[in-house]
Amino acid sequence: MNTKKPFFLIAGPCVIESLELVIDIALELKKITSKHRIPFYFKSSFDKANRSSIDSFRGPGLKEGLRILTKIKEKTGCALTTDVHSTDQVKPVAQVVDLIQIPAFLCRQTDLILACGESGKAVNVKKGQFLAPEDVDLIAEKLKRVGCQHYFFTERGSCFGYHDLIVDMRAIYLMRSRQHKVIFDATHSVQRPSALGRVTGGDSSLAFPLARAAVAVGVDGLFFETHPCPENALSDSSTMIPLDKIDPMLECLLKIHEAIS
């Protein structure tokens, strides 16, 4: 496991709310990551297909979402990632983004994994809350079967009874020891699924301590969802990190990374 190579960052608002907002966030994140010399992917979803309530905001949809993501790349030069939920979305998404993300609830869907692996893009598979670390070997086998060698697994917590998640830092070590590249998702790891009834809750104050622990264990990348005003966000408002906190967080995390290198 290489601890000397700097971790990269995936960050952005949970879902695309407007073109203006996502461009502003992307520009600020690019400035911060350039300052710290951290490779960066901007992330935002065009469709949150697994919202708790049918009335929850899902995003602009595939066509408009990809138009907005294209504009972000044109105006900021940022590398992009977003998630797909069905095989028919993979080809158009691959024409726009640099990294395709498979959501945790879909991490065992063979056809979706194969379609992403065949896209020619790097693939980030979020490890399901129900999987053991060694279970990702079978996902990697599916990706490699179609020639995908550039893939990541994202740790985002495990089910802990009802309406809660817990992060087992051993999972990060175990997946990396099996020669997989691992990302730690600090904000989804502090969710409390459906804990607020029709809305998923969580505690964003726990994201930074968990990120510190993950960097100390050793990760290839970090994932933060962030928003200028999380309390006004249309998705994951209780777990997103305020945008103005990202810079000092990264400064601290880089010091931890340097200490273990």
Distance (Å, whole) CA 213 – CA 170: 11
Question: What pLDDT band is residue 49 in, cutting at 50, 70 and 90?
Answer: confident
Supply the DSSP string of 90-128, one letter for each residue.
HHHHHTT-SEEEE-GGGTT-HHHHHHHHTTSSEEEEEPP
Residue 224: name the closest of 190, 180, 173, 259 by CA.
Answer: 190
Render pLDDT for 14-34 as a digit per residue (tens, 0 to 9). 999 999 999 999 999 999 999
Cβ(66)–Cβ(19) below 8 Å: no
- Kindly list the structural domains of the chain, giving each domain's residue range(s) and its CATH number in brackets, ordered by start: 8-260 (3.20.20.70)
Contact yes or no for 152/160 (Cβ under 8 A): no
- Tell me if 81 sits within 8 A of 42, measured CB to CB: yes
- The CA radius of gyration of the chain, in Å to the nearest whole number, is 17
Global pTM? 0.95
pLDDT band at 55; cut points 50, 70, 90: confident
The pLDDT confidence band at residue 1, using thresholds 50, 70 and 90, is very low
Task: Of 53, 124, 49, 54, give the one whose Cα is nearest residue 88.
Answer: 49
Backbone dihedral angles phi then psi of residue 137, each to the nearest 5 degrees: -55, -40
pLDDT at res. 3: 53
User: Using 50, 70 and 90 to split pLDDT, how confident is the model at 195?
Assistant: low
Distance (Å, whole) CA 71 – CA 69: 5
The DSSP 8-state label assigned to residue 56 in this structure reads S
pLDDT in tens, 139-171: 999 999 999 999 999 999 999 999 999 999 999
Query: Roughly how many angstroms between the first and final C-alpha of the chain, as a whole number?
Result: 11
Q: Rounded distance, CA 244 to CA 255, Å? A: 19
Q: Where are the alpha helices (DSSP H) in 5-44?
A: 19-36
